[in-house]
């Protein structure tokens, strides 16, 4: 789809960003499927950013077009298919680290040439920079991540100083994440690098994983004891961890919830271990309501739905 499903009203009417700022928020780099008047491109001197390696120039072209266009008309039909099956494409490169930063610097420089447009949509540029920086962190090789996080912190600290961060469009979670990166890039990096193991070390995941491993009659008989052992062991580990933080609060990693935008790339929360564990943990927490008696039936129901 050309626009976000929540903005279907934008189809089949003439619009622009001055009429509806959602032109920038509900669309993202869609210049590939657009038809434009040549005079419009020439008069506004709209050009691709001729960066090395032809990386992410669609971002800059799209931003220029939507900044200057006075008449935009969205059609909810497919006339063009964007293929991304080239393994050498920039979107798959783990070594192309700063190309997106350079592209958004190019966009920002273009806005400075047009004060009226700059005043109104510089915060939109900052928001899209944020989204692309997050995507880059998901994409690049681990060996580049800390260096890029430092760049992330530097760029957004400057955006805060320039009053280009609009809290109303960023939202609380994004602001919290940016502030965490600015305040302590190193601890954010450690939290990100160890995210998979941190999630697997959560009580929910460990309980679910234990249930899945009970794949023979002997393990199934011992399963209740195994689950209780994990519960007690986990709580003991948490006490030790809290004791360490009491003396060394600087070692505290940011909450896993802060990294929600990275979890899909890890594909852990959708794993069956986590889903089983969630059911088991709820049953233990509400044992006094008789939930433990219902636990076998709920686990069986999930297993059936998984195999269906």
> In terms of domains, do 111 and 153 share one?
yes
Show pLDDT as tens, one digit a residue, over the chain (308 residues): 678 888 899 999 999 999 999 888 888 766 667 888 999 999 999 988 887 777 888 899 999 999 999 999 998 887 777 777 777 777 778 888 999 999 999 999 999 988 888 988 999 999 999 999 999 999 999 999 999 999 999 999 999 999 999 999 999 999 999 999 999 999 999 999 988 888 888 888 899 889 888 888 888 889 889 999 999 999 999 999 899 988 888 888 888 889 888 876 565 555 778 788 888 888 888 877 788 888 888 887 887 776 65
- Structure tokens belonging to residue 91: 């979107």
> In terms of domains, do 68 and 183 share one?
yes
Angle between the 167-183 and 185-193 helix axes, to the nearest 10 degrees? 90
> In terms of domains, do 91 and 170 share one?
yes
> In terms of domains, do 223 and 233 share one?
yes
The whole-model pTM stands at 0.81
- The answer to whether the beta carbons of residues 218 and 137 sit under 8 Å apart is no
Q: Which helix (H) or strand (E) holds 37?
A: none
> In terms of domains, do 21 and 99 share one?
yes
Question: Which residue, among 114, 134, 8, 135, has the nearest Cα to 66 in the 3D structure?
Answer: 114
> In terms of domains, do 161 and 221 share one?
no
E-strand ranges in the chain read 14-15, 72-73
**CA separation for the pair 82, 150 (Å, rounded):** 33
> In terms of domains, do 185 and 226 share one?
no
> In terms of domains, do 87 and 128 share one?
yes
Number of domains the chain contains: 2
> In terms of domains, do 199 and 156 share one?
no
**pLDDT tens sequence across 236-268:** 999 998 999 888 888 888 888 898 888 765 655
**CA separation for the pair 140, 146 (Å, rounded):** 11
> In terms of domains, do 199 and 146 share one?
no
> In terms of domains, do 216 and 168 share one?
no
Annotate 91-101 with b (16+ C-beta within 10 A) or e (fewer).
eebeebbebbb
Show the domain range for 113: 5-193
- The answer to whether the beta carbons of residues 73 and 3 sit under 8 Å apart is no
- Structure tokens belonging to residue 80: 């063009």
- The answer to whether the beta carbons of residues 121 and 24 sit under 8 Å apart is yes
**CA separation for the pair 184, 260 (Å, rounded):** 18
Last residue of a domain, one of 146, 164, 193: 193
Last residue of a domain, one of 176, 193, 210: 193
Question: Which residue, among 208, 188, 302, has the nearest Cα to 256 in the 3D structure?
Answer: 188
> In terms of domains, do 132 and 266 share one?
no
Last residue of a domain, one of 139, 169, 193: 193
**CA separation for the pair 91, 152 (Å, rounded):** 19
Other CB atoms within 10 A of residue 176 CB: 15
């Amino acid at each position: 789809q050309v626009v976000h499903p929540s903005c279907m009203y934008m189809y089949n009417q003439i619009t622009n960003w001055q009429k509806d700022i959602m032109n920038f928020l509900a669309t993202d780099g869609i210049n590939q499927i657009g038809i434009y008047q040549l005079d419009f491109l020439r008069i506004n001197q709209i050009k691709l950013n001729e960066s090395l390696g032809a990386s992410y120039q669609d971002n800059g072209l799209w931003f220029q077009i939507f900044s200057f266009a006075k008449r935009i008309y969205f059609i909810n039909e497919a006339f063009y298919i964007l293929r991304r099956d080239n393994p050498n494409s920039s979107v798959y490169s783990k070594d192309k680290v700063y190309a997106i930063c350079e592209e958004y610097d190019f966009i920002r420089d273009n806005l400075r040439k047009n004060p009226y447009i700059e005043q109104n949509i510089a915060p939109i540029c900052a928001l899209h920079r944020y989204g692309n920086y997050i995507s880059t962190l998901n994409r690049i090789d681990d060996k580049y991540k800390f260096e890029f996080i430092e760049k992330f912190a530097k760029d957004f600290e400057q955006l805060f100083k320039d009053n280009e961060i609009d809290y109303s469009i960023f939202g609380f979670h994004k602001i919290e994440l940016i502030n965490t990166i600015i305040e302590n890039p190193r601890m954010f990096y450690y939290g990100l690098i160890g995210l998979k193991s941190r999630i697997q070390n959560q009580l929910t995941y460990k309980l679910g994983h234990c249930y899945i491993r009970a794949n023979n009659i002997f393990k199934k008989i011992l399963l209740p004891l195994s689950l209780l052992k994990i519960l007690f062991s986990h709580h003991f580990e948490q006490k030790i961890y809290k004791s360490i933080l009491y003396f060394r609060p600087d070692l505290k990693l940011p909450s896993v919830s802060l990294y929600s935008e990275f979890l899909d790339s890890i594909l852990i929360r959708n794993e069956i271990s986590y889903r089983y564990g969630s059911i088991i943990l709820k049953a233990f927490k509400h044992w006094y309501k008789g939930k433990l008696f219902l636990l076998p039936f709920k686990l069986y129901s999930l297993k059936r739905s998984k195999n269906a």
